[in-house]
Structure 1
């Protein structure tokens, strides 16, 4: 069993609102164009829980007026999506499509099959805006957040 990274362990020990609010803000920014176009309207009144495998971290999402929100009252989710951190990163960076991750059993979906297909199809067709693509590219190149051009600009040698 893989142990989660130290930041994930620390995050799981914080009160839920301290990490759910920023997480929702990031997702709303990441999916802003899709939300504006109504591509996530299928989330209206539905609850999807994103779970980070091997941790107690669970983020409950619902759609409300073209925004992702945290559902007000706890209830059984319509859909549970579970994966490890590396799989979520691979998915967001669009390095591997959701179908492949699902069939490799790295991305697990439980609950409403139709809703699961809608989420999976949305992710498969989602195109991040250019600013988010640059941010994801920087994240891919290491935790220092620099790529070759940034390092050259600052006068660093690699």
Structure 2
């Protein structure tokens, strides 16, 4: 079912079929809709979606012990344009997520807009480029941040279900192309 939806989305939402003005408006409008809406998504719902997704993406890395460096350490991931924050750690060979109410003091934090995180996930931008452009902020324990960045770089998108992979790629392409067109429109 999701594969059919993904194929339908790919055929219906090609870059050429979506006018630039609509894509440009969507990039600024979607975070304005999501930001207030996500306040109503309870922590347990976020956790029940995020943790299994991360375990799926990082299954091999978890099994290989590549997350041991995060034991008794906390990583904060912030999606700045929608004011969403997650605290992650590694305990008992598993990724864990702390509720915002726990007031965890992170050891390292990664901050970026949703568009930029989508570009990283879709392999349209690498974290180093966004970091040097100040679009990805990494604060706190530098060594820990480097290890997290290296894990992100090592993600094998082919491990994702093909429908998820296709949707991420399609959305990342839309964001990338729209941002490029916006740069050229300003010149």
CA distance in 1, matches of 2:159, 2:144: 28
Structure 1 counterpart of 2:108, from 64, 79, 100: 79
Question: Does the 8 Å CA contact 2:87/2:97 hold for their aligned counterparts?
Answer: yes
CA distance in 2, matches of 1:91, 1:46: 23
Task: Please report the TM-score for the alignment, with normalisation by the length of structure 2.
Answer: 0.67
CA 1:133–1:82: 2 relative to 1, 3 Å: farther
Task: Please report the TM-score for the alignment, with normalisation by the length of structure 1.
Answer: 0.77
CA distance in 2, matches of 1:8, 1:56: 6
**Alpha-carbon deviation of 1:138?**
3.0
CA distance in 2, matches of 1:40, 1:128: 18
Aligned residue for 2:92, secondary structure, equals: coil
CA distance in 2, matches of 1:37, 1:80: 24
Which residue number corresponds to residue 54 of structure 2? 27
Structure with the larger helix share: 2
- 1:139 maps to 2:168: yes
CA distance in 2, matches of 1:5, 1:133: 29
- Matched residues, number: 141
**Alpha-carbon deviation of 1:49?**
0.8
Structure 2 counterpart of 1:115, from 144, 147, 158: 144
Structure 2 counterpart of 1:103, from 132, 140, 146: 132
Structure 1 counterpart of 2:72, from 30, 39, 45: 45
Give the unaligned 5+ runs of structure 2.
1-27, 172-187
Aligned residue for 1:141, secondary structure, equals: helix
- 1:56 maps to 2:75: no
Question: Does the 8 Å CA contact 1:62/1:68 hold for their aligned counterparts?
Answer: yes
Q: CA RMSD in A?
A: 2.1
Aligned residue for 2:110, secondary structure, equals: strand
Structure 2 counterpart of 1:17, from 15, 25, 44: 44
Which structure carries more relative contact order (alpha carbon 8 Å, separation 6+)?
A: 2
